[in-house]
A and B are shown apart, each in its own frame.
Chain A
Amino acid sequence: MECNLNITEREISGITILDISGRVDAATSSKMEEELTKKVDAGVINIIMNMENLSYISSSGLRVILASLKKVKSAGGKIALLQLQPGPAEVFKMTGFDRLFPICSSMEGAVEQFSA
């Protein structure tokens, strides 16, 4: 079955940007977990997750993002979220995840999160 999640990677000012598109649900969250684990294990601890094209996230996705945040924070890094769409934004708000991550509306704002 086709996987409804795509993750591509790029870099801006030394920060890894993960462009995430599609759905993060119980069927696809393992793909995101693999990608994030690969990055963190390789020493990447400053990450912007661009969610402009993420239409849906369930608790399976939240679990993966939270586990990654705990890992990068303990290594002195940070994860910022960019352009959360209405569905995922509601889930982040309801679960208090919006207070755990900087949520930015522009790439410039997201990159600035790492300049301090």
Chain B
Amino acid sequence: MATHQIELSDPKKAVPILSEFLSDILAEEQVPFEIENAMQLCAEEAVVNIFKHGYKGAEGPVRVRFTLDDNRVILEIEDEAPFFNPLTLPSPDVDAELDERKIGGLGVYLIRSLMDDVRYQETPKGNCLVMEKSFSG
């Protein structure tokens, strides 16, 4: 089992740092392309939501832990923002025609769609989102 961790704090730099961190690990671990894309997306969507809504655009600690266990990847994202379970957000209507389409609200939907399992936990300091996905070797 391989575990890698990074701590982000600056909302302006978080996404490129996170992307590079994941690219390096996923290349090193030789994870298939579709899993890399899913991991990049879910990590970005979760982290962006934390900075935007949890920390209201301010700096704050966000810890991203990536674990590869056989053919299963686990992403755990912890913050110290006020308690909020993103999984309670309603799903957008992805079948709506253009006129009825709302702009935004797709981040959590993508996480739910791409991952096999997504869990939310309150922690003593804030929030933790755990996302898992299996793949065939």
Enumerate chain A interface residues (CB-CB to B < 8 A).
1, 4, 23, 25-27, 56, 58-60, 62-63, 66-67, 69-70, 73, 86-87, 90-91, 94-96, 100
Interface of B is mostly: helix
- The reply to whether A86 and B113 contact each other, CB–CB distance below 8 Å, is no
B98 within 8 A of A: yes
Interface residue ranges, B against A (CB under 8 Å): 12-13, 15-16, 19, 33-34, 37, 40-41, 44-45, 48, 92, 94-96, 98, 101, 103-104, 106-107, 109-110, 113-114
Contact A59 B37 (CB under 8 A): no
A98 to B101, CA, bound (A): 13
A57 (CB) vs chain B CBs: closest residue? B41
- Measured between beta carbons, the chain B residues less than 8 angstroms from A90 are 34, 37
- Contact check, A63 vs B106: say whether CB atoms are below 8 A apart: yes
Known: A27-B15, A91-B41. 18 other contacts (CB 8 A): A25-B44, A26-B15, A27-B12, A58-B40, A58-B107, A59-B45, A59-B104, A59-B106, A59-B107, A62-B106, A63-B103, A70-B101, A70-B103, A87-B34, A91-B110, A94-B114, A95-B92, A95-B94
